[in-house]
């Protein structure tokens, strides 16, 4: 079994490309919410929302992330 310290993981993550870091973030969020039925239902509902008035542009999304 491979044992890696948390500090080593952080160094490895910092060395990833921006695209790889984005993929890792997506993956860890999937892991975090994999067993939360309410969250999964909300995600499905949002993905199926066809009302474009509820959608954000990528810039609006980034701005909201920056505000938090």
The reported pLDDT for the residue numbered 43 is 85
Distances (CA, A) of 22 to 39, 42, 48, 50: 20, 22, 23, 25
pLDDT tens string 20-54? 999 999 999 889 888 899 988 998 998 999 998 98
Q: How far apart are CA 34 and CA 53, in angstroms?
A: 28
């Amino acid at each position: 079994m491979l044992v890696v310290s948390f500090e080593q993981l952080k160094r490895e993550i910092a060395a990833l490309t921006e695209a790889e870091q984005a993929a890792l973030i997506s993956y860890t969020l999937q892991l975090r919410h994999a067993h939360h039925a309410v969250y999964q239902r909300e995600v499905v509902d949002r993905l199926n929302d066809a009302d474009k008035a509820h959608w954000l542009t990528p810039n609006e999304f980034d701005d909201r992330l920056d505000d938090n």
